[in-house]
Amino acid sequence: MLVMGVVNVTPDSFSDGGQHADTAGAVAHGRRLRAEGADILDIGGESTRPGATRPVLDEELDRVVPVIEALTADGALVSVDTMRSEVARAAIEAGAGIVNDVSGGLADPRILEVVAASRASYVAMHWRAHSDRMADLASYDGPGGVVAAVRSELAERVTAIRAAGIPDDRVVLDPGLGFAKRPDHNWQLLQGLTQIASLGFPLLVGASRKSFLGALLSNPEGISRPVDERESAGLALTLLLAQRGVWGVRVHDVRASRDALRVLDRMNALHDRRETESP
């Protein structure tokens, strides 16, 4: 399973906003994550936390392009986390090999044309609205609940992606944990990942430090566990996802995730050897 390390070049992201908001800090953070074992560095210049205000286009470009140029010059595989076609184009020109679009092409349909005209891969996430409205759309009352709805809506995005000319082998899907989802919806989606995977595409899952984990770990007074104290729960989830064959996880703490996966790989290797040696 691939580990995608998060590099938020923003002042307001829910987990680490402001910690790496300038170019030098973001590049240093990306290099640190790569040294810790990140397979992909995901560079984002727009916070998508609930209620976040979108930056203007030039601001997003100024945040991400210099960071992408520096990290790709190091030889890193870089993903740009954007919903804008202009940012996707500039990021690809700067060396990004993946466009990670949390809107799946809904926020700016031209982004699909940009990716199709390149050799970049495309991650399409389940999405219903921008951060200031998504909580109002967290309703999944139809047959099959949230899993059926997410699968159906991602299938619609696949149709649009194919129509734009992006080959299937360059497409990854993301169920969109936390986006227009209440806590229980996220757990239901995780339980139903096989149904999402039946669309025939690799899955990227981004659960790291999200609010549904904080809700699970609430104290007796019902106060959610703080963002920076949710990592152990995220690691447990990472191991479960690896065992289910998920393509990749998007995480903040790369070292902890990679360490946990090394333990799992070691145990699996011992099990396989024992099975081979059994009479």
Instruction: Report pLDDT for 278.
Output: 59
Instruction: Report pLDDT for 197.
Output: 98
Is 250 one of the catalytic residues? Answer: yes
Residue 11 CB neighbours (<10 A):
13
What pTM value is reported for the model?
0.93
Among residues 157, 181, 225, 250, the one annotated as catalytic is: 250
Count: domains in the chain: 1
Among residues 84, 210, 225, 230, the one annotated as catalytic is: 210
Instruction: Report pLDDT for 184.
Output: 97
Q: How far is CA 18 from CA 25, 26, 81, 235, in A?
A: 10, 10, 17, 24
Instruction: Report pLDDT for 277.
Output: 64
Name residues of the chain where pLDDT drops below 70: 12-18, 274-279
Q: For 211, what's the count of Cα atoms within 13 Å in the CB-facing half-sphere?
A: 15
- Which of 165, 171, 80, 168 shows the shortest CA–CA distance to 117? 165
Instruction: Report pLDDT for 275.
Output: 67
Instruction: Report pLDDT for 24.
Output: 94
Instruction: Report pLDDT for 51.
Output: 72
Task: Report d(CA 48, CA 135) in Å as an integer.
Answer: 12
Instruction: Report pLDDT for 164.
Output: 98
15-45 confidence digits (pLDDT tens): 555 677 799 999 999 999 999 999 999 999 9
In this structure, what CATH number is given to the domain that contains residue 218?
3.20.20.20
The parent domain of residue 151 ranges over 2-277
40-60 confidence digits (pLDDT tens): 999 999 988 777 788 999 999
